[in-house]
Structure 1
């Protein structure tokens, strides 16, 4: 009970501090909330068009739901951004309560402590982005995946229709969990409901706009693959520089053969995901246990989504949190080292954005070096998890009896 009380006090302190840092740190880490989330949701409330329905949108359609909900506490508190922070804190509290339970499980206590430290390490960008809503939903889903697979699948599918990354967790569950029909069924139900709603609302041509919007974009400055071009800009190589994309509202890099790299990244990401899924499927077919297979496969897939992505937004680090939480809850001895790597990557990410971000946009040695180290950590984590996936133990095959 004492551990439980201490962690709940820590939960409140952490969320107050991180929420406040959003207004204190440079480069407006909470800027997306009032610059884009509030206008999008306000327009929808006022009947001036609904993103994802009346126009193409960078996010799946359910991403608008938390943006609309945040107006409730926003009106009560007189500020939409503060309302967003309160909403994210409330969703986190639900997941935290389920994770911690009565505080009797040492693994869950450690996992809860990790999550709080991770929130602090990454800082306000983890709270003031739509990813901040999907992470607690994903944590709930992973905790319920074995005992309540239908509910877990519904939650993961709903989170996927807010931000695509939880699809990696669904894929891992489909491979590693024996009750695959529940995983498929929940995902199909949510997807059918969303697509039917879009159809009824008159926006079928925009239903998958978030997919086409991603395939045509360039290399965001923080993405691991962008490091080559960022170093070129830092060293003054002709044709290499950082620029602002007015349409996507993000900073990107360019340089020699950049179009070739842009075109190659999506197929490479797809091949990496298929390869990891295939390796996991072989292990599952040979009888690997869920508790050993799923966390490693899930983290491999999620890390691949970050490493091979053309986008490298700082909030992507939150995607790593749910699997580490699950890993620590069920086998803390095997997962404390990956947890430390994720915490280090999160802390370096906050150092890059928002603290040193101007040194990325106008490349400076310190900022670019810190970002490079962060990206190398992610690559190392991916390689490590794929190796661990390849080494997941399987029961020995029974030999055919000698006639």
Structure 2
């Protein structure tokens, strides 16, 4: 007697079981939409919360949103006149940043603040979609990690810059020319996205990406020099920066202040910085450490022999971590960059940076406590404020050292 099988036909090839989920047919084709829906729901819920915090934030010269309401809008009004800010100590960004500050003008039916936040939210969505297509673990890190910074990411322009860097990294393997173009654009906006090209595999990928980046930088800089006045004014202001209280060097000076060092904190160049004995020496030390970091990265590039699909991601993450911890400024919004790059690393199972990427979550959470939640303690140098800075910068320093160690061990010659 012939028996007939009742139910859906077996899949054409073996699929791994999905724990906790029993579905007819192929588990993969039906569970992926569910996972994508869960990611979309998490993104929507967390972003509503972030926007809610932004709405109740104090409006005007104070509060997290104050920079957009006053500083960014003032720059916008100057840029639409065809001139970069002149003799403005707060203008310290490459000229490509003008593209971001002028962009809200494309939404004239909204106020400048509303348009800026809308474009930032759109950039956040682009990052999430790109990461979801590349690998859901990375998308989840981004979706869950960004809200740890509360509403700060939507009141700064770092999400837009991170979107350019993330897209550049994800394009490295299949479209290196596009990756180079995006990296060049990002470098003209905030310099660090050029690090996305550090780990491009030797050969055709590097020969396509690096010239494309250089061409983009030259073309955009030329256009801005022709279209605006005072295009390079930012160099003078950037060179005058001191040691910000939130930097690694600032943490050293905070500890020294707690033990009797006579220095103090002053608001200058758009940030709270230390003034007093040994501050110039700390500034020079930070610059020397940044140069040392660059030398190590160049040595790694020369000695690297083993390349995996994750190497460009891992190298960009390690390089950005190094330049972050050696910087004279480690503002809380820098965590937006690190979360984005960490998320890209987690899109591939070949990454060496998984434990380092996970360290970004507690570092982001502590950064939110540093600013804006307990910033008065940080400014006052209280025990709580000092503890927060030691923990946050300690996490970043440990992450940078671990990242470099794992990158070298996985790729470089012994």
TM-score w.r.t. length of structure 2: 0.84
Residue 71 of structure 1 deviates from its aligned partner by 3.2
Contact 1:150 1:186 in 2 (8 A): yes
Distance 1:95 1:192 in 2: 26
Verify: 1:274 aligned to 2:295, yes or no. yes
Deviation sequence 1:75-112 (CA, Å, 0-9, x none): 434x32222111011122223223223xxx7xx11111
Aligned to 1:159: 186
Distance 2:97 2:164 in 1: 13
Aligned to 1:232: 256
Contact 1:280 1:293 in 2 (8 A): no
Contact 2:128 2:143 in 1 (8 A): no
> Structure 1 residues 367 and 346 mapped into 2: Cα distance closer, same or farther (>3 Å)?
same
Contact 2:84 2:233 in 1 (8 A): no
Contact 1:359 1:366 in 2 (8 A): yes
Contact 2:172 2:179 in 1 (8 A): yes
Q: Which moved more, 1:83-92 or 1:13-22?
A: 13-22
Aligned to 1:330: 348
Alignment of 1:166-205 (within 5 A): 166-173=193-200, 178-201=204-227, 203=229
Equivalent residue of 1:256, what SS? coil
Distance 2:109 2:41 in 1: 24
Contact 2:311 2:351 in 1 (8 A): no
Residue 9 of structure 1 deviates from its aligned partner by 2.1
Contact 1:215 1:266 in 2 (8 A): no
Distance 1:150 1:120 in 2: 33
Deviation sequence 1:282-303 (CA, Å, 0-9, x none): 11xx3x1142532332222101
Verify: 1:59 aligned to 2:112, yes or no. no
Distance 2:127 2:244 in 1: 31
Which of 149, 161, 169 is 1:142 aligned to? 169
Distance 1:211 1:352 in 2: 28
Residue 6 of structure 1 deviates from its aligned partner by 1.8
Distance 1:17 1:340 in 2: 23
Alignment of 1:275-354 (within 5 A): 275-283=296-304, 286=305, 288-331=306-349, 334-354=352-372
Higher relative contact order (CA 8 A, sep 6+): 1
Structure 2 spans left out of the alignment, 5+ residues? 1-32
Verify: 1:7 aligned to 2:33, yes or no. no
Residue 13 of structure 1 deviates from its aligned partner by 2.1
Residue 336 of structure 1 deviates from its aligned partner by 3.6
Distance 1:76 1:207 in 2: 29
Deviation sequence 1:237-261 (CA, Å, 0-9, x none): 242211111xx12100134311112
Aligned to 1:241: 264
Contact 2:145 2:339 in 1 (8 A): yes
> Structure 1 residues 229 and 255 mapped into 2: Cα distance closer, same or farther (>3 Å)?
farther
Contact 1:289 1:394 in 2 (8 A): no
Equivalent residue of 1:339, what SS? helix
> Structure 1 residues 169 and 52 mapped into 2: Cα distance closer, same or farther (>3 Å)?
farther
Contact 2:96 2:185 in 1 (8 A): yes
Deviation sequence 1:197-256 (CA, Å, 0-9, x none): 1332363xx444334432221001100111121223344x242211111xx121001343
TM-score w.r.t. length of structure 1: 0.86
Aligned to 1:261: 282
Aligned to 1:50: 83
Aligned to 1:76: 109
> Structure 1 residues 177 and 380 mapped into 2: Cα distance closer, same or farther (>3 Å)?
farther
Residue 189 of structure 1 deviates from its aligned partner by 1.9
> Structure 1 residues 54 and 221 mapped into 2: Cα distance closer, same or farther (>3 Å)?
closer
Distance 2:151 2:188 in 1: 23
> Structure 1 residues 113 and 238 mapped into 2: Cα distance closer, same or farther (>3 Å)?
closer
Q: Identify, as 1 or 2, the structure richer in helix.
A: 1
Contact 1:53 1:198 in 2 (8 A): no
Aligned residue-pair number: 378
Aligned to 1:109: 136
